[in-house]
């Protein structure tokens, strides 16, 4: 095996191990950035050596070519659904039936949370993922293998001693935080939001372009099996433990119960824990633990006799819709919001609920003054689910479609492909506030001392109208200082932070521009492929879609943004203000250093630099920073309390540096006081 092929195999194993620790064991060993470094190294090696590419490489999770349609495939073992009930007496009756059928044979139960997701079956042959199917009609389903491959927690290869064939059944779902973020992005883009996480997961898995699926925050848990060859499970508990050992995520907080009374108690505990789960949970599943009894118990025409689902009623409450207001987002999208008589729903007090858009208002015939039913959609978003028209007062008011922005009073429009109304006024104060908050935020330009209240003050005083005006505040220092509660030091802190931000990484500027569909990670990806903002601005759709994670929707959004004369003028104002428009590393890696082209690993606690400062410094000195020690590592920089990485580096004979050795590589500026280091303005 060549050294390159060996390194590729090593990287794949490391990444798979880190995936297992993160998704199954919930005990990650490295940071997200270190993980990305490993993944990027693997992607570069595979691109340079296509002869070593593999279908089960972790890099394949970004998705491949779009399909024209899904293929329908028969299940080796049918996927039958469970009987379910909302009545606890039905669960007791279920136990009574088991006692009669088993005639005194001992049995126990396992109770697990019921994920409200999309039923999926995975087929592994000799440990390798070869197929993923939807439930379909239970006898056959759609082949969604390429889409399932994009889910990071799904192992492409099983761990340990693997059977000849293992089919696992479970649920794909969208986690709560990801669902909220996805809906915010859709609303900002003028698209209709998803109703709940289950719908969004189902819609994601049926996308024909797996590159788009890869951008969705999907996950999965596995709790059952179909066809098996070379393995058997005596108990359901044993099955769950074995799936974990294979590297498959199983449902959390499963409970072993000796009898039906303990099952009832477990159902209650599961209900109380429903808000602790990362996924939407709509009930619990009660299963006989002894799998040897499954054949004896058999199935009805629709469902097995050895398991039953108990479903929880969604909590709904009645309240009055006092009025409808309109929010204006940073992209100008108008979102109607129901202002409610405060009411408790799912453990929290709700006084506002989204109405999404005017199509939704018309479909539900929502009027100001109505009595409405509220629930948390997917246990997350307060939503109006129903209007009690029989309680409608005579003076209930229809809320019309907007003709003007509620903030700036300028005309609004609805684009052909969108459901949202949008304020197109670039100087709208509402857009300016949201945009400026985004621009200065920690994940964008990371400008200290500029909170929302100060931004509002600056906008109200007409010192700024958009983020580019922030860089002119030094020219209005006296006016700035005259504002309420502004002191000399606080003004200087803001001006210094703005000056420092001019030299930010390019990806921060790209993210700060507020391009719809372009978040922090996408901005970093774009920086890797374009050395300057001007190169990105002149990119073609074809250029953009060649980049992993950039599909046609994101590409269209980028092209549209840079083609807008208003945005072009904004960017020119930033250029005139002196902001860096080039990739920082490319601009600074000009001089040779002892670390040029070296692969470096950091470990232990640093005392003179933060970990981020050290990584940035290493990159600027020409080094490649990775997260784990291997034969390819040139230097290990060991801080205090260094552990296993230091021992491994010593075993491999790798050069060991102290933090001071790294600091000694930092150039000093002769104009600085003696002993003061120039950390490249880190």
**346 close to 325: Cβ distance less than 8 angstroms:** no
Question: What pLDDT is stored for residue 533 in this prediction?
Answer: 96
Residue 682, in any domain of the structure? no
Task: Tell me, yes or no, whether 680 lies in a domain.
Answer: no
Domain final residue, candidates 535, 567, 586: 586
Question: Is 114 assigned a catalytic role?
Answer: yes
Structural domain range at position 552 = 506-586
- CATH number of the domain encompassing residue 632: 3.40.50.10190
- The number of residues making up the chain comes to 682
What CATH number corresponds to the domain at position 9?
A: 1.10.287.610
> Are residues 249 and 346 both part of a single domain?
no
User: What pLDDT is stored for residue 171 in this prediction?
Assistant: 94
676 part of a folded domain: no
421, 412 in Cβ contact below 8 A? yes
Q: Are 12 and 58 in contact (CB under 8 A)?
A: yes
Contact indicator for 513, 567 with CB cutoff of 8 Å: yes
Catalytic residue of the set 100, 105, 114, 502:
114
Co-location of 39 and 99 in the same domain: no
Which of 530, 558, 586 is the endpoint of a domain? 586
User: CATH number for the domain including 524?
Assistant: 1.10.150.20
What pLDDT shows up at residue 676?
Answer: 36
Whether 675 is in a domain gets the answer no
Domain co-membership, 283 together with 361: no
Same domain, yes or no, for 601 and 570? no
* Number of domains within the chain: 6
Predicted pLDDT at 25 = 67
Q: Are residues 536 and 638 in the same domain?
A: no
Picking from 33, 62, 91, the residue at the C-terminal end of a domain is: 62
244 and 323, same domain (yes or no): no
Low-confidence ranges of the chain (pLDDT < 70): 1, 22-28, 31-33, 60-68, 188-192, 195, 301, 346-348, 377-381, 548-549, 585-592, 612, 619, 667-682
d(Cα 162, Cα 55) in Å, to the nearest integer? 19
CA–CA separation, 271 vs 227, rounded Å?
Answer: 32
Q: Is residue 534 part of a domain?
A: yes
| 84 and 122 assigned to the same domain | yes
**Per-residue pLDDT, 190:** 66
Same domain, 295 and 321: no
Q: Distances in Å between the alpha carbon of 199 and those of 175, 391, 571?
A: 12, 31, 38
**671 within domain boundaries:** no
Q: Domain check: are 98 and 209 in the same one?
A: yes
Beta carbons of 213 and 67 less than 8 angstroms apart: no
Indicate whether 49 and 89 sit together in one domain: no
Please indicate, yes or no, if residue 412 is contained in any of the structural domains: no
What are the beta bridge partners of residue 101? none
Closest by CA position to 449, among listed 513, 497, 406, 394: 497
240 and 196 within one domain: yes
Residue 421 in domain: no
CATH of the domain at 398: 2.40.50.140
Q: Tell whether 303 and 322 lie within a shared domain.
A: no
Q: Are strands 307-311 and 84-85 parallel, antiparallel or unpaired?
A: parallel
Question: What is the spatial distance between Cα 649 and Cα 346, in angstroms, rounded to a whole number?
Answer: 52
**Looking at the whole model, is its pTM more than 0.85?**
no
CATH code of residue 199: 3.30.470.30
């Amino acid at each position: 095996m060549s050294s390159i092929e060996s390194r590729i195999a090593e990287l794949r194993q490391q990444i798979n191990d880190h995936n297992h620790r993160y998704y199954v064991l919930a005990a990650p060993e490295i940071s997200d950035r270190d993980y990305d470094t490993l993944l990027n190294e693997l992607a570069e090696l595979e691109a340079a050596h296509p002869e070593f590419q593999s279908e089960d490489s972790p890099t394949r999770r970004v998705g491949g070519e779009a399909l024209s349609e899904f293929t329908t495939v028969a299940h080796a073992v049918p996927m039958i659904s469970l009987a379910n009930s909302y009545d606890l007496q039905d669960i007791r009756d279920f136990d009574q039936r088991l006692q009669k059928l088993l005639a005194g044979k001992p049995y126990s139960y396992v109770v697990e949370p019921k994920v409200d997701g999309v039923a999926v079956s995975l087929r592994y042959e000799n440990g390798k993922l070869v197929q993923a199917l939807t439930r379909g009609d239970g006898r056959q389903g759609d082949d969604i293998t390429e889409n399932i491959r994009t889910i990071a927690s799904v192992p492409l290869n099983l761990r340990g001693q693997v059977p000849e064939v293992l089919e696992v059944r479970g649920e794909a779902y969208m986690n709560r935080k990801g669902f909220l973020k996805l809906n915010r992005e859709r609303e900002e883009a003028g698209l209709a939001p998803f109703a709940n996480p289950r719908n969004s997961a189902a819609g994601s898995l049926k996308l024909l372009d797996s590159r788009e699926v890869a951008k969705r925050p999907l996950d999965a848990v596995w709790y059952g099996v179909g066809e098996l060859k070379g393995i058997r499970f005596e108990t359901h508990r044993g099955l769950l433990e074995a799936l974990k050992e294979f590297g498959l995520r199983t449902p959390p907080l499963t409970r072993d119960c000796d009898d039906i009374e303990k099952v009832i108690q477990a159902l209650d505990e599961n209900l109380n824990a429903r808000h602790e789960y990362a996924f939407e949970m709509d009930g619990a599943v009660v299963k006989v633990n002894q799998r040897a009894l499954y054949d004896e118990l058999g199935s009805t025409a629709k469902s097995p006799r050895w398991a039953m689902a108990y479903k929880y009623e969604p909590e709904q409450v009645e309240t009055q819709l006092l009025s409808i207001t309109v929010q204006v987002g940073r992209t100008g999208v108008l979102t109607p919001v129901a202002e409610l008589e405060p009411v408790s729903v799912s453990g929290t007090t709700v006084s506002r609920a989204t109405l999404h858009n005017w199509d939704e208002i018309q479909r539900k015939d929502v009027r100001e003054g109505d009595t409405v039913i509220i629930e948390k959609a997917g246990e997350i978003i307060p939503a109006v689910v129903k209007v009690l028209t029989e309680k409608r007062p005579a003076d209930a008011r229809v809320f019309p479609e907007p003709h003007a922005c509620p903030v700036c009073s300028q005309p609004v429009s609805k684009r052909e492909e969108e459901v949202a109304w949008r304020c197109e006024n670039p100087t709208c104060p509402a857009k300016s506030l949201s945009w400026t908050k985004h621009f200065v935020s920690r994940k964008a330009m990371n400008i200290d001392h500029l909170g929302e209240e100060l931004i509002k003050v600056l906008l109200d005083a007409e010192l700024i109208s958009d983020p580019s005006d922030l860089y002119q505040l030094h020219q209005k220092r006296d006016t700035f200082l005259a504002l309420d509660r502004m002191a000399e030091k606080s003004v200087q802190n803001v001006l210094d932070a703005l000056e420092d931000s001019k030299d930010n990484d390019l990806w921060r500027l790209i993210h700060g521009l507020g391009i719809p569909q372009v978040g922090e990670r996408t901005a970093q990806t774009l920086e890797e492929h374009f050395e300057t903002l001007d190169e990105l601005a002149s990119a073609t759709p074809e250029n953009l879609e060649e980049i992993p994670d950039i599909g046609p929707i994101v590409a269209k959004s980028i092209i549209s943004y840079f083609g807008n004369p208003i945005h072009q003028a904004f960017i020119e104002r930033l250029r005139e203000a002196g902001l860096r428009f080039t990739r920082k590393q490319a601009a600074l890696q000009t001089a040779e250093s002892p670390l040029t082209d070296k692969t470096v690993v950091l470990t232990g606690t640093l005392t003179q630099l933060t970990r981020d400062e050290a990584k940035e410094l290493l990159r600027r000195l020409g080094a490649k920073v990775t997260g784990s020690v291997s034969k390819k590592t040139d230097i290990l920089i060991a801080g205090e309390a260094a552990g296993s990485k230091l021992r491994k580096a010593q075993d491999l004979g790798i050069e060991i540096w102290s933090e001071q050795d790294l600091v000694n590589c930092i150039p000093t500026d002769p104009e600085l006081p003696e002993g003061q280091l120039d950390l490249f303005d880190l």
